[in-house]
A and B are shown apart, each in its own frame.
Chain A
């Protein structure tokens, strides 16, 4: 049978009439959605990796002073923490983001050699470091990027460190990180006696008390014993630590700007298209098309731009993440994994952006007088 006409087919033919303009608009929305997929995907994966790191080590609470990045917490607080009945272990930690080579930077963690957190990583080669020694462990992804193995030397901020072991990290953050003795990182950062946080493992909850309730009680107990400090559950810490918050803010900020530009592109395209087709809209009105039906047609065109731009953007964003996850400069902090929900969200945003962008041109087109529209040149 010969071709059947549908609203979608009609809309697509209208869009395809001005191929270059449609392709440029699709490019704009694809870049916007690509930025959303890549940046927001990255920031969410970053948060997820923090959580995995805490969960992998079995950390229940992080005790901090105001914020995670404030390294003004005194190391001596550890003894008071450990004296509390609910606390099984409390280990000081410090971390920093450092340039290891001009191309490669990585998270550097300072832990005590006997910290329980070291139990969550598996040594692939070599041995653990010793406190007080210029020794480091490298995550396997970072070691591969730096082409270092156990026994090699790595200079960090002018100080030579011996790579004593390579480990498999439980999370991408750990696999791309350096772990060194706490005292060495304090010295390197000129923060002797200060730590970023204490990671706390609680004793098992008493029988009959729910874990959530128990953690709340432990929080209250710690904060009562150590006024001015905050005991924050691991999941909350993963979501709210300043690096993650900063990553979320940058990701959403940049994506929003890109989306606004993309929406303006669709508005421009649809407004131009409606203006150019004024007479054709008049013909549709003369043929009895109601205003709502004309709005529907124009909105389908705008949503189609959003849908196709969104699909292209998902490809762009995903491809960018995969590329970043293989580059030495970013491999240690970028994960290529993106949740299907995030992709659906991106597609939803793209279609919604198209519908919003098409609203004013659609309204204008739908309310043209048939006679005036037919007279239009």
Chain B
């Protein structure tokens, strides 16, 4: 007897609402969407439209005020532990890179693996392999402050891949980069999505990036617009 195949979308959102300041600020006002595994999805919209809030809820960084986020049909926060979800299923990439300033590049990439992989040597080897894949083999022992912005974002991508997640969630990954580095980072991200079959969700305000996605979500005033 074969195991039943889970045909549910990798992520599904139902009537998602998020408000702050005791309901006075409504960041999301009822969002429904489904994302299939392996998709490249862009989320775009003006500042304050709720796109980063949506990404945070999809990534399990926050809990909705109303509605639900389902990972392969299972509800985040109840059926699935958020910490485990973030460490094993999702890799985050931030606009400000958010690398640990006291750690060397190689050590930064090992941070997500610290609890999951018991072998220090295996952690270091995997981190080195990812950094080499990002073209940073000459930067392993440097500190983030010694790297260019583009290099820092490549370290962040390597860190996001450390635990072999199914999805990469990037919040304005090119927001702090010049056009040349932006193009390179997007090339790396889309390359990873294609080669590894990963789901890539990118929040961006750049039309070019938004339009390059296979599935585009435009959000305004907390609602998805067609």
Q: CB-defined interface of A1-13 with B at 8 Å, one 1/0 digit per residue?
A: 1111111011001
Query: Is B103 a contact of A2 with CB atoms below 8 Å?
Result: no
Residue of A nearest to B88 (CB): A288
Range of interface residues on B (Cβ < 8 Å): 35 or more
Query: Is B103 a contact of A290 with CB atoms below 8 Å?
Result: no
Q: A3-B141, A5-B123 are in contact. Are A288 and B112 (CB under 8 A)?
A: yes
Q: Does A327 lie at the interface of the complex (its beta carbon under 8 Å from any beta carbon of B)?
A: no
Query: Is B103 a contact of A13 with CB atoms below 8 Å?
Result: yes
Q: CB-defined interface of B83-108 with A at 8 Å, one 1/0 digit per residue?
A: 11111101010100010111110110
- Complex: how many Å from CA A4 to CA B94? 24
Query: Is A288 a contact of B120 with CB atoms below 8 Å?
Result: no
Q: Which residues of A contact B124 (CB under 8 A)?
A: 1-5
Q: Which residues of B contact A286 (CB under 8 A)?
A: 59, 61, 86, 92, 98
Q: A2-B141, A283-B98, A287-B86 are in contact. Are A371 and B61 (CB under 8 A)?
A: yes
Tell me, rounded to whole Å, the shortest Cβ–Cβ distance linking A282 to chain B: 8
Residue of A nearest to B81 (CB): A290
Q: Which residues of B contact A168 (CB under 8 A)?
A: none
Q: Which residues of A contact B101 (CB under 8 A)?
A: 17
Query: Is B100 a contact of A280 with CB atoms below 8 Å?
Result: yes
Q: A interface, by DSSP: helix, strand, loop or mixed?
A: helix
Query: Is B106 a contact of A283 with CB atoms below 8 Å?
Result: no
- Complex: how many Å from CA A283 to CA B159? 11
The A238-288 residues at the B interface (CB cut-off 8 A) are 279-280, 283-288
Q: A287-B111, A288-B112 are in contact. Are A17 and B62 (CB under 8 A)?
A: no
Query: Is B114 a contact of A374 with CB atoms below 8 Å?
Result: no
Tell me, rounded to whole Å, the shortest Cβ–Cβ distance linking A301 to chain B: 12
Q: CB-defined interface of B187-206 with A at 8 Å, one 1/0 digit per residue?
A: 00000000000000000000
Q: Which residues of A contact B86 (CB under 8 A)?
A: 285-288, 370
Q: Which residues of A contact B125 (CB under 8 A)?
A: 1
Tell me, rounded to whole Å, the shortest Cβ–Cβ distance linking A121 to chain B: 62
Query: Is A2 a contact of B128 with CB atoms below 8 Å?
Result: yes
Q: Which residues of B contact A17 (CB under 8 A)?
A: 101-102
Q: Does B121 lie at the interface of the complex (its beta carbon under 8 Å from any beta carbon of A)?
A: yes
Q: Does A369 lie at the interface of the complex (its beta carbon under 8 Å from any beta carbon of B)?
A: yes
- Complex: how many Å from CA A318 to CA B101? 39
The A281-321 residues at the B interface (CB cut-off 8 A) are 283-291, 293
Residue of B nearest to A371 (CB): B62
Q: Which residues of B contact A290 (CB under 8 A)?
A: 83, 115
Query: Is A288 a contact of B107 with CB atoms below 8 Å?
Result: no
- Complex: how many Å from CA A286 to CA B111? 11
Q: A13-B103, A287-B86, A288-B84 are in contact. Are A2 and B163 (CB under 8 A)?
A: no
Q: A5-B111, A280-B100 are in contact. Are A289 and B87 (CB under 8 A)?
A: yes
Q: Which residues of A contact B100 (CB under 8 A)?
A: 280, 283
The interface centre, meaning the residue of B56, B88, B107, B123 with most chain A CB atoms within 10 A of its CB, is B107
8 further A-B contacts with Cβ under 8 Å, apart from A3-B124, A286-B59, are A1-B125, A3-B104, A9-B107, A13-B103, A16-B102, A287-B159, A288-B85, A289-B83
24 interchain pairs, CB-CB under 8 A:
A2-B128, A3-B104, A3-B106, A5-B106, A5-B107, A5-B114, A6-B120, A10-B103, A10-B107, A10-B111, A10-B114, A13-B103, A14-B102, A285-B86, A287-B86, A288-B84, A288-B86, A288-B90, A288-B115, A289-B114, A370-B62, A371-B56, A371-B62, A374-B94
Residues of chain B at the chain A interface (Cβ within 8 Å): 56, 59, 61-62, 83-88, 90, 92, 94, 98, 100-104, 106-107, 110-112, 114-115, 120-121, 123-125, 128, 140-141, 159, 163
**Can you list the 3 inter-chain pairs with the closest CB atoms, starting with the nearest?**
A288-B87, A288-B86, A4-B120
